[in-house]
Amino acid sequence: LAATRAFSIEVVQQLKQAGFQALWAGGCVRDLLLGRESKDFDVATNATPDEVRDVFGHDHTLPIGASFGVITVNGGRRRGQVEVATFRTDMGYSDGRRPDAVRFSSAEEDAQRRDFTINGMFYDPVEEKVLDYVGGQRDLKNGLVRSIGNPYLRFEEDKLRMLRAVRFSSTFAFDLELATQRAIREFASHIHVVSAERIAAEMRRMLVDNHRMIAVRMLRDLTLMDELLPELDSVVGHALRWSETYQSLERLQVADFSAAMALLLRYACQRSVLNGEPHRPVEPAAAIAARWKLTNDETKTIQWILRHEGLIRRADEVAWPKLQRLLIQEPAPLLIEAGRAIQRAKAISTEGVDYARSRIELPEEDLNPAPLLNGGDLIQAGYQPGPQFQRVLEAVRDEQLEKRIATTAEALDFVKVQWDNL
């Protein structure tokens, strides 16, 4: 990280030596002024993409974003890459998401195309001077997220900015300026032009962060939640349930998207129960995961937490092997954290999850002993492979976890005696 930062200063220096204007731009300037670490250091310049390539040589540059005026300068494995963007003005946004074309321009104009004042500043890392055409420093001091220019026009141009506004505002614990809020309410129903991947990416960043409750509350206040997760509205609708959802999100002590999603979707996934329908709790979660193209891992984890949060919360009343089978699953620590957050949101005892947490610390040979038997062992013992195998092996595993059998020989005896019952 420090190496990338140093490299980006070198890039600025080289451009300046070649007679161009060059500055850090956007997020890294904001992070610098906030005293936060930046992942990337973007450089903006009045050099055209061709001129940038000439300065750093074709071997060290990638023209991947050249049509938008962005050249990637490669500093090698240790120093990483720096994106150098020509000052530009974005032209036309007919798809509500991306500019149709760009025109190269000046630093001042380039600031105007950026989304929020706190993201619209430049910084000269050589002279150590801020260049602020948009009042970003003042808003940063006051903790305010404000659109650059007319917020209606800015959200009309690019609907993704609505989610970015909520993300910056929640993760930095900043206020969202009023006209900016009003414009978001106006365009909330257009959020669907944003791709599922981008929506999911923004939601991940909001929900992983420990200000996730603020993010969810803002999305709801701004009516974006009705668009993004209409499933919540009809069900969580009741004020008390929303307040409990907020509380649990606030109390979640782990920076995990799936755990937070499970808390967010919990009441929506109980709809069938509330309506007295058969208990099929994870259906809405599956639909949402598909809609946002979440990873298989995320999808499975969210559903698994939703299926088992009730049980983990009364883990102290559950038979040990049953609890053990939960605790040996990979996302068990997340389940425990989600369960704890729910208990605390309800202001009731965490004894159950505390018990689960103490048991998950057991040594591996006690918590998750190696199986006594596998399919190969059954075949070797003369059994015909078939659909019964999995059931038999699970039963053997249960017996082992119940400590009723302890050796492979005992396991085979058990199978012989019980085969017809399994």
Chain positions contacting Mg ion, by CB under 5 A: 27
61-65 sheet: strands from edge to edge:
61-65, 70-74, 81-86, 43-45, 22-25, 122-124, 129-131
Contact pattern from residue 29 through residue 48 relative to ligand ATP, giving x for each residue in contact according to CB under 6 A and a dash for the rest: -------------x------
Binding site partner of 337, from ligand ATP, Mg ion, none, Cβ cut-off 5-8 A by kind: none
H or E element, residue 212 = helix 212-221
What is the per-residue DSSP string for 73-124?
EE-HHHH-EEEEEE-EEEE--TTSSS-SEEEE--HHHHHHHSSBGGGS-EEE
Residue nearest to ligand ATP (CB): 27
- Indicate which single residue of 5, 12, 115, 356 sits in contact with ligand ATP (rule: CB under 6 A): 115
Residue 161 lies near ligand ATP (rule: CB under 6 A): yes
Min. distance of Cβ 42 from Mg ion in angstroms? 7
Q: What are phi and psi of 101, to 5 degrees?
A: -155, 170
Q: Is 115 a residue of the active site?
A: yes
Binding site partner of 114, from Mg ion, ligand ATP, none, Cβ cut-off 5-8 A by kind: ligand ATP
The CA distances from residue 60 to 82, 133, 279, 310, in Å, are 11, 32, 59, 56
Closest to ligand ATP by CB, 121 or 342: 121
The number of residues that bind ligand ATP (CB under 6 A) is: 10
Residue 119 lies near ligand ATP (rule: CB under 6 A): yes
Residue 99 lies near ligand ATP (rule: CB under 6 A): no
Residue 83 lies near ligand ATP (rule: CB under 6 A): no
Entry field: residues in the chain: 422
Min. distance of Cβ 31 from ligand ATP in angstroms? 7
Q: Is 209 a residue of the active site?
A: no
CB 121 within 8 A of CB 132: yes
Q: Is 59 a residue of the active site?
A: no
Closest to ligand ATP by CB, 161 or 359: 161
Closest to ligand ATP by CB, 114 or 220: 114
The active-site residue, picked from 115, 132, 158, 256, is 115
Exposure letters 305-336 (e unless 16+ CB within 10 A, then b) = bbbbbebbbbbeebeeeebbebbeeebbbbbb
Classified as helix, coil or strand, 354 is helix
CB 249 within 8 A of CB 341: yes
- Mark the segment that binds ligand ATP (CB under 6 A) among 48-56, 158-166, 230-238, 352-360: 158-166
- Indicate which single residue of 5, 27, 55, 360 sits in contact with ligand ATP (rule: CB under 6 A): 27
Maximum Cα–Cα distance for the chain, whole Å? 87
Residue 215 lies near ligand ATP (rule: CB under 6 A): no
Binding site partner of 160, from ligand ATP, Mg ion, none, Cβ cut-off 5-8 A by kind: ligand ATP
* HSE-CB of 229 using CA atoms within 13 angstroms: 26
Distance, CA of 346 to chain centre: 25
Classified as helix, coil or strand, 211 is coil
Residue 158 lies near ligand ATP (rule: CB under 6 A): yes
- Indicate which single residue of 114, 146, 313, 357 sits in contact with ligand ATP (rule: CB under 6 A): 114
Closest to ligand ATP by CB, 139 or 158: 158
Min. distance of Cβ 26 from ligand ATP in angstroms? 3
Beta bridge partners of 45: 22, 86
Q: Which residues bind ligand ATP (CB under 6 A)?
A: 26-27, 42, 114-115, 119-120, 158, 160-161
Would you name the residues annotated as active-site residues?
40, 42, 115
